[in-house]
Amino acid sequence: MRATRLINILTTLQARGLVSAGDLAEENGVSLRTIYRDIDELAAAGIPVYSERGPEGGYRLLEGYRVRLNGLSPEEAEALFLSGLSGPATILGLGSIMTAAQKKLSVALPEKLRESAERMRARFHLDTSAWFDQPEEPAFIQDISSAVWNDRLVKMRYRSWQAEKERTTAPLSLVLKNGAWYLIGLTDGQNRTYRVSRIQALDVTNETFQRPKGFDVETYWRESAQRLEAEMHPHIAKVRVSNLGYRILTGISPAFARARMEVSEPDEADGWRTVKLPAGSTHESVSTFLRLGAEIEVLEPPEFRQAMREASVKIHAFYN
């Protein structure tokens, strides 16, 4: 366990440069005192690690020093071969590069680890696109990928829901979500999310930018997705559903609404339950509830119930 932690500290310092003792302790799940002892042990072993004092201080490796670690566990070798998504890599223009890298890695691995990696590749396949849909291949995806990698400002004409606008943005990251590509860009001092397929024109400039200190794409995306889900479910709907209706409702509701459902015990008379759950607009919610047919009664809010009544009258007229 300690050897693994020491290796992790070394690779972290090599990858990130200056790292505080607090960050090292948090990443390794140990106390500050343990990190201090680990740093002392690395220094005693001849590793050129030194400290920088002050509020922005921490530890770093001597400039030019590189860690050469040849020991991979079977699990690590398997994970390396699972991490490559061939479809998205090809869209980004990296398909042949990824294939060549995996071949070289496979040849370099000891035979036992090579077998583990091949077993992982034979047993698992990651498909990021939705069912009955094709993954997006936006026109400017490779140019944007290059701009993200090289920290170059881009000028683009972007079509939002309301209108087309000219924007200059610092492209920070690309995110693939359910087959669609999104660009996270710093625009007018704020991080914004753009769907790449809505970019109508793009110019990658020669002007570079400084990435915001502390920006973490995973954290930004998670918090952004949570805010979006909350904004898309501004209402609380109250419905009664049969046993079949309850199973259908939990199956078709998004994870955000499903996680926040309040469900009563089944009624002794008819077995129906009362459910409260976050809901979107009136049109969107009624369209969803109509999928349950006669297995649901919408109680609240009043505008939802009225819209269900009007839809039911029209449906009745069709079949009367």
Burial class of residue 171, CB neighbours in 10 A (0-12, 13-18, 19+): buried
Identify the CA nearest to 85 among candidates 46, 126, 117. Answer: 126
As a whole number of angstroms, the distance between CA 2 and CA 45 comes to 14
As a whole number of angstroms, the distance between CA 316 and CA 319 comes to 5
Q: What is the pLDDT of residue 211?
A: 92
Yes or no: is domain 2-61 CATH 1.10.10.10?
yes
Q: What is the pLDDT of residue 193?
A: 95
Residue 180 in tokens: 């669609």
As a whole number of angstroms, the distance between CA 205 and CA 143 comes to 11
Could you give the 3-state DSSP secondary structure of residue 175? Answer: strand
Q: What is the pLDDT of residue 320?
A: 81
Q: CA angle at residue 281 from 280 to 286, to 5 degrees?
A: 90
For residues 208 and 150, is the Cβ–Cβ distance under 8 A?
A: yes
Distance of CA 140 to the CA centre of its chain: 21
Q: What is the pLDDT of residue 68?
A: 59
Mean pLDDT, the chain, whole residue set: 87
Q: What is the pLDDT of residue 11?
A: 79
For residues 216 and 184, is the Cβ–Cβ distance under 8 A?
A: no
Distances (CA, A) of 293 to 111, 241, 242, 255: 59, 10, 11, 22
As a whole number of angstroms, the distance between CA 198 and CA 110 comes to 46
- For 204-234, how does the pLDDT look when each residue is reduced to its tens digit (9 = 90+)? 999 999 999 889 999 999 999 989 999 999 9
Q: Which residues of the chain register pLDDT less than 50?
A: none
Q: What is the pLDDT of residue 15?
A: 75
Q: What is the pLDDT of residue 28?
A: 87
Q: What is the pLDDT of residue 80?
A: 67
Q: What is the CATH number of domain 141-220?
A: 2.30.30
For residues 19 and 28, is the Cβ–Cβ distance under 8 A?
A: no
Residue ranges per structural domain of the chain: 2-61, 74-123, 141-220, 235-319
Q: What is the pLDDT of residue 240?
A: 97
Yes or no: is domain 235-319 CATH 3.30.70?
yes
